[in-house]
Amino acid sequence: MCKNGSGVIGKSYFDAKAAGRTAAFFLLRAKIETMRKEKVTALLKTIGSKAGLPLTTDITFYMIEDEKIQDEIRIVLLSDFHNDYGEADILRLGREVRNLKPDLILMPGDMAEEHHHQERTFAFLETLKGIPMYYSTGNHEEYRWDLTELKQRFRDNGVIVLDEKKELVPVKNTVLEIAGISCRLNMSAFMPSAVNGLFETDHYRILLSHKPNWIGLYEQLNCDLVVCGHAHGGQWHIPFVDIPVAAPSQGFLPKYTSGIHDAGQSKMLIGRGLTRHYHGIPRLFNNPEIVILTLRPRTI
């Protein structure tokens, strides 16, 4: 025990000072560790960006004018989620979609996966509840033995399942006629007359169909717009020239991987999809994509 002129300083005084120094040490160490992690994360992002890894999600905007459209309509196209992403990224994607303020969401397939539990898919759909959502199957969903139950789970989450069905969808002063066809192995499973038969009005016609390589079918349809996914944007892109390398059902140097294409009297819109990899193979120089399509009245 120590003394000074005004009294006695007990042991607890030195214990408190030691505790303060210890706390300061741990706070400093935590701050250094946080700074180290931030620097490592920034470095990895820089390396990943230079290597073309999918570290961000692109938001791509398209516009179509048509005389059947009376008011501006904002449509988000989401495809090929493949039960990907963890909780933080699912919440981020949900915020990004909501911030776009879509009137409706179109999902032309492969939002789920063939062999895995689908909790991530339905967690993502949960973030979008309240926005009208329309869905048709992709090839990976068609592989599932429990496809009937899977479709019901989509319905239970507020999604309209369009398997050879159509819906009349009023949006503001416009009515959209939206139909969908299931993803079969070959497009020969569908006769053009049967697909055309899904539509019954002269409203703006939209078809959800997973595979863009079925363009031979789409060219024979009496439809305004076909929305597709499946190609994952070509998976890898050749850097600097932005040429897609390969896509399912199209092979090397595929033609139909993203963007808007003519398909007879229709337009075909292809989304690059959300998944960051394909059977463990990462995208390169080809980020996942959210598509926002604006339909506008045609101006003279």
Checking if the pLDDT of 272 tops 80, the result is yes
Average pLDDT over every residue of 36-46: 49
Average pLDDT over every residue of 136-148: 94
Residues in the chain: 300
Specify if 2 maps to a domain. no
139 and 25 inside one domain: no
133 and 272 inside one domain: yes
Return the sign of the alpha-carbon dihedral for residues 91, 92, 95, 96: negative
141 and 24 inside one domain: no
Specify if 18 maps to a domain. yes
The number of domains in the chain is 2
Checking if the pLDDT of 120 tops 80, the result is yes
Helix/strand/coil for 99: helix
Checking if the pLDDT of 170 tops 70, the result is yes
264 to 197, 217, 267, 298: CA distances (angstroms): 17, 10, 8, 19
Q: What is the pLDDT of residue 280?
A: 79
208 and 240 inside one domain: yes
Average pLDDT over every residue of 41-58: 62
- CATH number of domain containing 264: 3.60.21.10
Q: DSSP for 131-163, please give it.
A: S-EEEE--HHHHT-TTHHHHHHHHHHTTEEE-S
Instruction: Compare 143 and 97 and report the one with higher pLDDT.
Output: 97
61 and 44 inside one domain: no
107 to 65, 188, 216, 252: CA distances (angstroms): 21, 22, 21, 26
Tokens of 180: 């969908």
| In the chain, % of residues over pLDDT 90 | 73
228 and 130 inside one domain: yes
Q: What is the pLDDT of residue 43?
A: 43
132 and 229 inside one domain: yes
222 and 238 inside one domain: yes
Residues 6+ apart with CB under 8 A from 104: 73, 75, 76, 131, 132, 133, 134, 169, 171, 176
Segment 213-270, tens digit of pLDDT: 999 999 999 999 999 999 999 999 999 888 999 998 899 999 999 999 999 999 999 9
* CB-based contact 204:66 (threshold 8 Å): yes
Spatial distance between the Cα atoms of 179 and 205, rounded to a whole number of angstroms: 8
Identify the domain containing residue 36 by its residue range. Answer: 7-50
Helix/strand/coil for 277: strand
| In the chain, % of residues over pLDDT 70 | 83
131 and 27 inside one domain: no
121 and 33 inside one domain: no
Q: What is the pLDDT of residue 41?
A: 45
Residue type, 81: F
Specify if 280 maps to a domain. yes
178 and 242 inside one domain: yes
Q: What is the pLDDT of residue 11?
A: 57
Average pLDDT over the chain reads: 88
Specify if 1 maps to a domain. no
